[in-house]
Chains A and B, each alone.
Chain A
Amino acid sequence: MADYRLTFSKEGRAVWISHLDLLRTFQRAFIRAGLVVRHSQGFHPHPVMSFVLPLSVGQSSACELLDFSTEGALEEASLPQRLNDCLPEGIRALACAAPVKPVRELDGLLADVSLCYDSGVPAGAAEAIAATLLGESVIVAKRNKKKQLADTDIRPMIRAVTAEAGEDRLVLHAAVQAQNPGVNPGLLAAAVERHLPFLRPDAVQVRRRALLDRSGEPFR
Chain B
Amino acid sequence: MDKKLERILPRVQKPARYVGGEYNAVVKDRARVDLRVAFCFPDTYEIGMSNLGMRILYGVMNQMEGVWCERVFAPWGDMEAEMRENHIPLYALESGDGVAGFDVVAFSLGYEMAYSNVLNMLDLAGLPLRSTDRPGLGPLVVAGGTCAYNPEPLAPFIDFFVLGEGEEVTPEYLQLYRRAKAEGWSKGRFLRAAAQIEGIYVPAFCAPIYKEDGTLAEMRAVEGSGAPETVRKRIVEDMDSAYFPVETIIPSTEIVHDRVMLELFRGCIRGCRFCQAGYVYRPVRNRSREQLADQGIRACQDSGYQEMTLSSLSTSDYPDLVGLCDDLEGYCVGHHVNLNLPSLRADNFSMALAQRLSRGRKAGLTFAPEAGTQRLRDAINKNLTEEDLLQSVRTAFSNGWSAVKLYFMLGLPTETDADVLGIADLARKVYFAWRECAANRARGVRITVSTSWFVPKPHTAFQWEAQITRAEYQRRVDLLRDAFQRDKSITYNWHDPETSYLEAVLARGDRRLADVLEAAWRRGARMDAWSEYFDFQRWVDALAECGVDGDFYAHRERSRYEVLPWCRIDTGVTPAFLRRERQRCYDSKTTPDCRTQCSGCGASRLLKGGVCNG
Contacts and interface: CB of A to CB of B under 8 A. Distances in A.
Interface of A: 12-14, 16-18, 21-22, 24-25, 27-32, 39, 57-58, 86-90, 202-203
A205 to B, nearest CB: 8
Contacts of B19: 13, 16
B15 A89 contact: no
A119 B7 CA distance: 16
Interface stretch (B232-240, B247-255, B538-546): B247-255
B10 to A, nearest CB: 5
Contacts of B128: none
Nearest to B336: A39
16 contacts: A16-B19, A17-B16, A21-B253, A25-B252, A29-B23, A32-B302, A32-B303, A32-B304, A39-B336, A58-B15, A87-B23, A88-B21, A88-B23, A89-B22, A89-B25, A90-B21
Most buried by B among A13, A24, A58, A86: A13
A49 B250 CA distance: 20
Contacts, number: 67
A14 B252 contact: yes
Given A88-B23, A89-B25, A17 B304 contact: no
A32 to B, nearest CB: 5
B9 interface: yes
B86 interface: no
A166 to B, nearest CB: 16
Interface string B1-44: 10000110110001110111111010000000000000000000
Nearest to A21: B253
A12 B304 contact: no
Contact of A13 (B7, B21, B303, B304): B21
Nearest to B6: A203
A31 B22 contact: no
B492 interface: no
Given A203-B6, A203-B7, A17 B252 contact: yes
B223 to A, nearest CB: 52
B131 interface: no
Contacts of B306: 31
A16 B8 CA distance: 12
B305 A28 contact: yes
Interface string B404-421: 000000000000000000
Nearest to A43: B360
A27 to B, nearest CB: 7
B7 A28 contact: no
Contacts of B18: 16
A57 B15 contact: yes
A81 B539 CA distance: 55
A27 B252 contact: no
A28 B306 CA distance: 8
A32 B23 CA distance: 11
Interface string B237-276: 0000000000000101110000000000000000000000
Nearest to A27: B304
A30 B23 contact: no
Given A58-B10, A88-B25, A89-B25, 4 more contacts: A28-B304, A32-B304, A86-B23, A88-B21
A57 to B, nearest CB: 7
Nearest to B24: A88
B1 A32 contact: no
Contacts of A25: 23, 252
Contacts of B7: 202-203
B63 interface: no
Contacts of B6: 203
A212 B252 CA distance: 29
Given A16-B9, A21-B253, A31 B21 contact: no
Most buried by A among B19, B20, B305: B19
A86 B23 CA distance: 7
B10 A21 contact: no
A13 B253 contact: no
Contact of B21 (A28, A89, A202): A89
Given A24-B254, A88-B23, A90-B21, A32 B15 contact: no
A217 B298 CA distance: 44
Nearest to A203: B7
Contacts of A17: 16, 252-253
Contacts of B1: 12-13
Nearest to B16: A16
Contacts of A39: 336
B304 A30 contact: yes
B301 interface: yes
A14 B252 CA distance: 9
Contacts of A14: 21, 252
B21 A86 contact: no
B24 to A, nearest CB: 9
A32 B21 contact: no
B9 A58 contact: yes
A31 B302 CA distance: 8
